[in-house]
Amino acid sequence: MTGSQQGLDVLALNSGSSSLKFGLYRVGPDSLEILMSGAADAIGDKAGQLNARDGAGRALLQEDEAIADQGQAIARIAKLLAEHDLPLPAAIGHRIVHGGPTLRQHCLIDGSVLEQLEAATAFAPLHMPSVLTVIRFAQAHFPDIPQIACFDTAFHAQLPDVSRVLPLPRELRSDGIQRYGFHGLSCESIVRQTADGPPDRMIIAHLGNGASITAVKGGKSVDTSMGLTPSGGVIMGTRSGDIDPGVLVYLTREKNFDAAKLEDMIDHRSGLLGISGVSGDMRALQAAAPSNADAALAIQMFCYSVRKQVAAMIAALEGVDLIVFTGGVGENDADARAAICDGLGWMGISLDQTCNRSAHEVISSADSRCAVRVLPSQEDEQIAWHTWALCPKTPGGLADDPLR
């Protein structure tokens, strides 16, 4: 059935530095059916895990054993498909965090694209090496199957100059130094979920271990908190977000930090972890907060950081009609949502606390000046849609992606 009239079977791969989320979908012009989903976690660690569910949410597999690398994870996914008589994919879609200045639209992966992705590693060294590894292993395990690159930066490719250009010397622009924006696949999925009546002015708060705030006008990104790399913007789990650039100059001059040490500090030892000294995970911080002032401060600073950025995006949009919370924290942390919105009461935003606690989709109160919703980040589904649209085996494939 991989290329039948019943739909195209697409494997979506969403890789992190030590994790790999996957989903098998049957995609048609007007339909998307999930056949299997799962994740490999703690790759490279002796405490590795692999879990998978069928389309109805029933457990297919729960393994607790070491997964040496992404290649072994890909091989296990292929074995899983065979063990449960699931179809081989007709195409594979990959979430790509950063394509650099030359790759700004979702596309078929060929030798030229791989070279450009290699060059883009300089822009996202935390994410890109594992992505490239997954692509190569997927090509080896599923030879002759089209592979599609789906970019997190594509949603922000048409940012207006006022938000895209960074206040640095003009000659640096030719090197691709600009605001790119990230979590684009998540933002696309939110826009798609509001397609029944998308508001003119929407703010998407994607809050997880990585976090960003995006202003969307008429379905298009007009500003976003992350910049050249996924390290900027609001405070995150282990990433600093925006800080005074003079801090980096000071650490280089006075503390002899080199690029590697700065990168390690900004991406791995800062954010919620750096503030609290406990963890970069909000759940662990909330458990520790009653008896740990630094953990409590980390939570307070995170919510304060998000609130300030939401207010900035309201200014960019000249108002707001809808605020959407998504991502692991955005979807599951009622306390964080409440703390963020309580600080926006000055502009008439208020929550229905019962709806917020029960994770109702609409959590704003009846008298709130704008709607506030909680929607799932459907990155993998978005990858599947784009892969179907761009796959050469699709009738009319490799035409303009209709989802862009």
C-alpha distances in Å from residue 49, one per residue of 40, 160, 292: 6, 43, 31
Q: Which of 152, 267, 333, 401 is catalytic?
A: 152
Do the beta carbons of residue 404 and residue 154 sit within 8 Å? yes
State the amino acid at position 261 in one-letter form. K
363 Cβ contact partners less than 8 Å away, ≥ 6 residues apart: 325, 337, 351, 352, 355, 356, 372, 373, 374
State the amino acid at position 142 in one-letter form. F
Q: Which residues of 328-367 are buried (b: 16+ CB within 10 A; e: fewer)?
A: bbbbbbbebbbbbbebbeeeebbbbeebbeeeeeebbbee
Cα separation, 34 vs 199, whole angstroms: 28
CA 42 vs. chain centroid, Å, equals 18
Do the beta carbons of residue 122 and residue 116 sit within 8 Å? no
C-alpha distances in Å from residue 152, one per residue of 8, 103, 356: 23, 11, 29
Is 152 among the catalytic positions?
yes
Catalytic positions: 152
